[in-house]
Amino acid sequence: MRYVDEFRDGRLGQAVAGEILTTVDPARHYKVMEICGGHTHSIYKYGIDDLLPANVELVHGPGCPVCVIPMGRVDDGIAVARTDGVIFACFGDMLRVPGSERTLLDAKAQGADVRMVYSPLDALRIARENPDREVVFFAIGFETTAPSTALTLKRAKAERLTNFSCFCNHVTIVEPLEALLGSPEVTLDGFVGPGHVCTVIGTRPFEFIPARHGRPVVISGFEPLDILQSILMLVAQLRDGRCEVENQYTRVVPRDGNARALEVMAEVFEPRPVFEWRGLGFIPHSALALSDAYREFDAEARFDVPGVRVSDPTECQCGDVLKGAIKPWECRVFGTACTPEHAIGTCMVSPEGACAAYYNYGRLARAREIV
Amino acid sequence: MSAPSDRPECEAAEGHCITCADEGIVMRVLELDGDSALCAAGEGAVTSVAVDLVAPVARGDELLVHAGVALVRLGVPS
Amino acid sequence: MSASESIAGGREQRVLQIIQTARAKRPRFRDERITLAHGAGGKATQTLIDGLLVPALCEPGSALAALGDAGALTIDGHRLAMTTDSFVVKPLRFPGGSIGSLAVNGTVNDLAVSGARPLALSVSLILEEGLESDVLRAEVEAIALAARSAGVEIVAGDTKVVERGAADGMYITTAGIGAIDPRADCSSGAITAGDRVLLSGPIGEHGTAIMLARNLFELDARIESDTRSLWPAVDALLDAAGAELHCMRDATRGGVASVLNELARAAGVGVTVVETAVPVAPTVAAAAELLGIDPMYLANEGRLVAFVAPDAAERALAALRSVAGCEEAALIGEVTPETPGMVLVQTGFGGRRVMDQLVGDPLPRIC
């Protein structure tokens, strides 16, 4: 594909990396947060860290929708999955997230009918094909993914399906960033913004970051060149004393997002007054529930879920990692008690999680240029 | 012989979940089909995509697709 | 470097060291139940083998302890190799092959990459009650055809039938015997720093073909399994490189990434792979991208990796490329003394990353 090839061109990458080197102030240390799990993944997959000067530090943020789901909610999902007759559909990454006693994968090994899907529309298809079974879709994701759940529920309603429901754990991106920016332990110079969330909500919702917190934001695409260009644009803003939201991903992101997607979301969802985020605590208005018109499809209404709040294990420091306060290897259980094979926390389970990404990809002694 | 769509067979505990990673794939519209379109990614990987949020689309249009739903029609000035 | 940076650097180094040490230790098999991950060919499989099977079944220095694709035996001065395999692929038929052809080629290939000319197979069928005879007939023909193509004789067999619900149609178990070729001197121990890594053709075809044949994702693409006998490729490599061919593996479940990791660990060396040198068919790349899977982890059923001494690499590659089906063979990396036990990838973009072993299972019942 045209887009993809250009934006993975190594020579262009070298050129942009060179420009970053000449733009940074050698006496300054830059701490840039990339918010989106997809960016974390790309950075490690392409070894982008390797290409940056040593005084530019990338910090991973709370933009991994799997990582932020608290254990109690996972337990609820597992309880539904283990109900007789239920076909439980979820995205791949959710399968290995630990609840208080087991993962969905364990539940599957023990006999629950758990199926991986790539889209809620797949789950809807399963419901159509299995009219005698209850099909439940575990919905997660930010505003990028919420429209697909909303569309699916609209279709379910139009088709009058009675055997389909949704366990809704959609979260929104702005509120945790506000919480994070209000937290004293977090010192950041700028943000690499989530390109695909912005295709839905537009770039305006991020304007509070420069306006109220004095930090620049660059909305970035996901190819390695996108990310490097965005970092360049950020350090250039800092050098020039500018502070604004810039859009590096103009080839995809419209400034005002997708109005129809926002309409559909407004029809199907309503904001939850409060929602618990793993490691970040309770954040108001940060998540979505089904609206009254769609309550019939709410799995929490249809099934008995334990609804018990489970604290993270005491040794787990996912919260600090998700806030960017510590690096994965600074977590006291990283690599010892917590590994991808036996994960304690979600940051290690999801390949987009900072700990898993570092463990799987970044784990080598890097020879970096000292600026 | 057990029915083909009987037991679940896939667990992508590896690779990464492109939905969770907020990834979008650029796909080309091959054929329209009501509120969906048959689209191709790269060379010849074809799948059905819901186009309600970007309609109207035409054959040859490039779409950004996430979780089976098109979010953007590319190349259109915003 | 500032004081705080060097402290941070030191801390990071210590943690990395702890991880390396932990990974070098013999794993303990502590899982309560078997999951599909144990069959994936990645970390869970390794732990099962290293933690449970080897301690129970292996004497130190025995044929099994070498953990190659085949076990070596000497009988009356004749050097033989023996291997066993089972095939539980779902669905039974898929573009490019079926369980029958897989069974023959898979067994033949375990022998071939151990440096043994495949001679004879035994085939054991476990059939599910209710299996259509036409299906069985087709598979038996597939076995016969594949055996003829590969030049091996089926010398023994067995058939069992189990109740409806077990065996999912059909499972096949095989054993294979081959004669270790006098030109061959392959083992993981022979791998040395500087060795070049060759790959005999494009990756990910079998894995993707199976995924599509399962019809789970409404994804269409014209991809066929690459199942075939690797003996002609091995023969050509032995001819061109002889004792400078240090080690081979067929890259089945877990893909190229898994075999490189296994060998890096076994030989105590590092391997660096150049991402842009690895051949992948565009359709496979597109399908893998859509599904979020790295083709390096996808199963192949007709591709091998070969570790060759640097002076022999060019002629070995030329010899490989002259074999039908291996025209796209490529030199994809090399063995380094740094980072022992780790496989690194030089990305197309210029940076480097680690290519670790699989933890879970991207696709169960792949072969």
Residue A309 falls within a domain, yes or no? no
**With bands split at pLDDT 50, 70 and 90, how would you rate the model's confidence at B14?**
very low
- Annotate C59-68 with b (16+ C-beta within 10 A) or e (fewer): eeeebeebbb
**Angle, in degrees to the nearest 10, between helices C310-321 and C231-241:** 140
Task: Please check whether residues A33 and A55 belong to one and the same domain.
Answer: yes
> What per-residue confidence (pLDDT) applies to B3?
29
Nearest-neighbour CA in chain B from C308: distance (Å): 30
Contacts of C239 (CB under 8 A, 6+ apart): C183, C319
pLDDT of C31-58, one tens digit each?
887 877 787 777 788 888 888 988 888 8
- C150 and C100 Cβ atoms separated by less than 8 Å: no
User: C68-180: which CATH number, 3.30.1330.10, 3.20.20.300, 3.10.20.30, 3.30.1280.10?
Assistant: 3.30.1330.10
Q: Give A-chain residues touching B20 at CB under 8 angstroms.
A: 37, 64-66, 91-94, 140-141, 350, 352
Taking the C-alpha atoms of residue C287 and residue C295, their distance in angstroms, rounded to an integer, is 10
CB contact C212 to B (< 8 Å): no
For residue B59, the 8-state DSSP code is T
For residue A358, the 8-state DSSP code is I
Cβ separation B19–A142 shorter than 8 A: no
pLDDT of C77-88, one tens digit each?
999 999 999 999
User: Between vectors from CA A308 to CA A304 and to CA A313, what angle results, nearest 5°?
Assistant: 140
Is the pLDDT assigned to residue C325 strictly greater than 70?
A: yes
Task: Please check whether residues A277 and A150 belong to one and the same domain.
Answer: yes
Interchain CB contacts (distance < 8 Å): A and B: 148
Cβ separation B1–C359 shorter than 8 A: no
- State which of A201, A224, A247 marks the end of a domain: A247
> What per-residue confidence (pLDDT) applies to C67?
67
Which contacts of C60-67 are long-range, i.e. CB under 8 A and separated by 24 or more positions? C66/C187, C66/C188, C67/C266
Q: Give A-chain residues touching C337 at CB under 8 angstroms.
A: none
Contacts of C69 (CB under 8 A, 6+ apart): C83, C109, C110, C111, C113, C114, C249, C250
- pTM score: 0.84
> What ipTM does the predicted assembly reach?
0.90
Nearest-neighbour CA in chain B from A41: distance (Å): 8
**With bands split at pLDDT 50, 70 and 90, how would you rate the model's confidence at C4?**
very low
**With bands split at pLDDT 50, 70 and 90, how would you rate the model's confidence at C259?**
very high
CATH architecture assigned to B21-73? Roll (2.30)
**Residue spans per domain, chain C:** 68-180, 188-354
Ramachandran area for residue A235 (φ above 0: left; ψ -120 to 50: alpha; else beta): alpha
Average of pLDDT values for C4-29? 70
Token pair, residue C227, equals: 């199942």
Task: Please check whether residues A56 and A72 belong to one and the same domain.
Answer: no
Is the pLDDT assigned to residue C352 strictly greater than 90?
A: no
Task: Please check whether residues A225 and A127 belong to one and the same domain.
Answer: no
Helices in chain C by DSSP H: which ranges?
3-24, 43-48, 54-57, 99-112, 133-150, 205-213, 231-241, 255-267, 282-291, 310-321
Q: Give C-chain residues touching B16 at CB under 8 angstroms.
A: 292
Between these two residues, C361 and C294, which has the higher pLDDT value?
C294
φ, ψ dihedrals at C180, nearest 5°? -65, 125
Is the pLDDT assigned to residue B76 strictly greater than 80?
A: no
Q: Give B-chain residues touching A111 at CB under 8 angstroms.
A: none
Nearest-neighbour CA in chain A from C267: distance (Å): 19
Token pair, residue B40, equals: 């191709």
**Residue spans per domain, chain B:** 21-73
Taking the C-alpha atoms of residue C115 and residue C190, their distance in angstroms, rounded to an integer, is 13
Which residue has tokens 């390096």? C296
Task: Please check whether residues A278 and A133 belong to one and the same domain.
Answer: yes
Nearest-neighbour CA in chain B from C34: distance (Å): 15
Reference B7, options A114, A106, A6, C49; nearest CA is A114
> What per-residue confidence (pLDDT) applies to A258?
97
**With bands split at pLDDT 50, 70 and 90, how would you rate the model's confidence at B77?**
low
For chain A, give the mean pLDDT. 90
In this prediction, the residues of chain A whose per-residue pLDDT falls under 50 are: 1-2, 365-371
Nearest-by-Cβ selection for A196 from B5, B16, B24: B24
CB contact C163 to B (< 8 Å): no
Task: Please check whether residues A242 and A189 belong to one and the same domain.
Answer: yes
Token pair, residue A2, equals: 């045209």
Task: Please check whether residues A152 and A101 belong to one and the same domain.
Answer: yes
Question: At the topology level of CATH, where does C188-354 sit?
Answer: Phosphoribosyl-aminoimidazole Synthetase; Chain A, domain 2 (3.90.650)
CA A294 to chain CA centroid, Å, is 25
pLDDT of C157-181, one tens digit each?
999 999 998 888 999 999 999 999 9
**Angle, in degrees to the nearest 10, between helices C133-150 and C99-112:** 30
